[in-house]
Amino acid sequence: MKHLFFDLDRTLWDFEKNSEKALHILFHELGLDNDIPSFESFHALYKDKNAQLWKLYGSGKMSKQDLRSGRFRITLESFGVQDESIIEKISQGYIDISPRQTELFPGAIETLQELKEKGYLMHIITNGFKEVQYIKLENSNLSDFFKIIVCSEEVGKNKPAPDIFHHAMGLAGARADRSLMIGDDLDVDIIGANNAGMKGILFDPHDHYTLEENIVKIKSLPQLTELIPVLL
């Protein structure tokens, strides 16, 4: 059997759009528009701080709880908001609301359906938090496409560590030479998979990466249906 391993956030589930929707709801519900000049300024700073803290979490230098609250604490304090109850409410509210948003990248469902009909076994490997990733999959009608779902915190290793790819292949009963990883992060998803013996396809809809010839890149998910049979 041939196995396809997908990243979830920013590959199938549109993290940026769904996150912004959740934050917009919370920004107004919590009355932050009374203290912060605009949602746009809040959102821009939050994205920057969240990315910084996720790098620390991914490298094992920050705990999950510190990431969850710290990204909001740093952002809000930059605007002079130091109310711990507000920080706690937006931190928990984001975890509750964000994964229930359902925006997917164009063609996600149709592409997965076609790949399923062609006989590929499909799985998820994600660095996202376990309790929210399952909610995202269920609410976005993605769950039924995937046999195995591997969250890094269950394994104790984040992508790009080869261990998580080997663990996922072991659970799926997959051989590396008959497996392929699809994800949006060159280092975390593609090079990580390559180091575990898997091929990879980089999903880069906004052309973030300028690549060497040995990296295969797509801009839209429907391209997978023609490209995967060539590679695998």
At residue 192, the pLDDT reads: 97
Name the nearest CA neighbour of 9 among 54, 73, 74: 54
Which residues of the chain fall below pLDDT 50?
A: none
Q: Give the class (CATH, top level) of 3-14+104-231.
A: alpha beta
Distance between CA atoms of 52 and 165, rounded to whole angstroms? Answer: 24
pTM above 0.75, yes or no: yes
The CATH number of 15-100 is 1.10.150.240
Residue 19 is predicted with a pLDDT of 97
90-130 confidence digits (pLDDT tens): 999 999 999 999 999 999 999 999 999 999 999 999 999 89
Q: Are 3-14+104-231 and 15-100 in the same CATH fold? A: no
- The pLDDT assigned to 187 comes to 94
Peptide bond into 162 cis (omega under 30): no
pLDDT of residue 203: 98
User: What stretches of 83-194 adopt beta strand conformation (E)?
Assistant: 121-126, 148-151, 179-183
Query: In this predicted structure, what is the pLDDT of residue 220?
Result: 98
The pLDDT of residue 136 is: 98
What single string gives the DSSP state of each residue in 122-150? EEEEE-S-HHHHHHHHHHTT-GGG-SEEE
**What are the C-alpha distances in Å from 47 to residues 8, 64, 124?**
18, 17, 24
The residue extents of the domains of the chain are 3-14+104-231, 15-100
Q: What is the pLDDT of residue 204?
A: 96
Q: Within the chain, what is the greatest distance between any pair of CA atoms?
A: 57
